[in-house]
Amino acid sequence: MDIKKCFEPACQQETEYLCRCTSHETYWCQIHLEKHCKMTNIIHPFDTIALELVDRSKTAVLELLEQEKSVRGETRNKLIVAYNHDKRLQESLNYFNKAIEINPNCALYYKNMGFAMKELGRLEDAKRCFANAIKAGSRYDSAYNGMGDILWNEKRYEEAYNYYNWAASINPNSSLYWRNAGDALKQLNRKQESKQYINRAISIEKARKK
């Protein structure tokens, strides 16, 4: 699935929303969608990107799946993230596995499955999913950050720092990644470097408030 860039100039966040307020569809991260919707008085009809099924019940999803005997990978991914967003994480794993069977080289599927596994507490499985997403050539900064979070919880701060730092290098506009990397450096007693990372995070946050 092609992930579009946020329409906010210079924003490198992964986009989560699709707005149809004009004849041309526009894509936004959560922060800039709110800004976009406040700019005019018109109604902004928006959806989570390509996830028309997110608000449907489990019954509706299963009925649709039954109707589609030959479900393509894109539709399967819609069902996956619909389940993920609705916190039906355990059920969603069946769909993740089927999606990966259809397209075993899709970093997006591995990344989404990694977060489902992480939320279920299956951390070793989550690490494998994030590793596969990264191996597939992923530029998904959140996959690196997800891996960093797990390593942090295991008190493997050096490795956690490396993943947080990679996430920040992919998306330098995320204060979260700089702060996470700074916290890991602090645990390693690299206080001067930690301060530089934390200051970078603070600068980004201040710039957003202007």
Q: What is the pLDDT of residues 25-51, one digit of tens each?
A: 677 776 777 777 666 555 555 544 333
| Tens-digit pLDDT profile for residues 42-89 | 555 554 433 332 333 344 444 544 554 444 555 566 655 555 554 566
4 near 27, Cβ under 8 Å? yes
pLDDT-based confidence at 200, cuts 50/70/90? very high
- Decide which of 1.20.58.220, 2.40.160.20, 1.25.40.10, 1.20.1440.130 is the CATH code for 139-210: 1.25.40.10
Q: What is the pLDDT of residue 99?
A: 75
Task: Report phi then psi at 176, rounded to 5.
Answer: -60, -45
Residue extents of the structural domains in the chain? 1-49, 139-210
Instruction: In whole angstroms, give the CA distance from residue 16 to residue 128.
Output: 24
CB-based contacts of 97: which residues, under 8 Å, 6+ apart? none
> Is the model's pTM score more than 0.85?
no
Residue among 7, 12, 10 at smallest CA distance from 37: 7
* Mean pLDDT computed over every residue of the chain: 75
Token duo for residue 84: 């993920």
Instruction: Name the pLDDT band for 209 (thresholds 50, 70, 90).
Output: confident
